[in-house]
């Protein structure tokens, strides 16, 4: 199966955007029923994760704590001034793999797939690769 690219536009420096619906639309449009899907972010200052989407304060807590753990103005040597973004991306991860069954991502009741921006606002890519059973 060929690669598919989603475009994500962010509005803040640190932001978590639910991309579950876009991913499931891709699965539906291609009639992908059963297999695995790799979701990859080809940027060094953005990531992807799965977490709770029932309570919006969870996203806020994640972003707030990451910023406390890795402050923007720490004693970094990287000249671009975004070392905190690189570290957050390494901790969260640039890719995840999910199970697809009956044309849908297998997620827990409260889970969603989030694109994580750590150096925005920007226009970003998310690459999807489906592997059929």
Q: What CATH number has the domain bearing residue 82?
A: 2.60.120.460
pLDDT of residue 23: 98
pLDDT of residue 74: 80
Q: How far apart are CA 78 and CA 9, in angstroms?
A: 25
Residues 108, 8: contact at Cβ < 8 Å? Answer: no
pLDDT of residue 72: 86
The DSSP line for 18-56 is E-HHHHHHHHHHTT--SEEEEEE---TTEEEEEEE-SST
Give the range of the structural domain holding residue 77, as residue numbers without chain letter. 4-132
pTM over 0.85: yes
Which residues 6+ apart lie within 8 Å of 76 measured at CB? Answer: 83, 84
pLDDT of residue 30: 97
**Domains identified in the chain, total number:** 1
Assign 125 to helix, strand or coil: strand
pLDDT of residue 77: 80
- Intervals of the chain under pLDDT 50: none
């Amino acid at each position: 199966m060929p690669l598919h690219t989603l475009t994500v536009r962010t509005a803040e420096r640190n932001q978590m955007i639910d991309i579950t619906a876009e991913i499931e639309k891709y699965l539906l449009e291609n009639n992908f029923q059963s297999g695995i899907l790799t979701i990859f972010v080809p940027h060094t200052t953005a990531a992807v994760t799965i977490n709770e989407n029932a309570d919006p304060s969870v996203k806020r807590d994640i972003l707030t704590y990451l910023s406390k753990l890795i402050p923007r103005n720490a004693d970094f040597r990287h000249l671009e001034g975004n070392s905190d973004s690189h570290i957050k991306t390494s901790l969260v991860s640039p890719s995840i793999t999910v199970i697809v069954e009956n044309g849908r991502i297998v997620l827990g009741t409260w889970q969603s797939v989030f694109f994580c921006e750590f150096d925005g606002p920007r226009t970003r890519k998310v690459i999807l690769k489906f592997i059929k059973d």
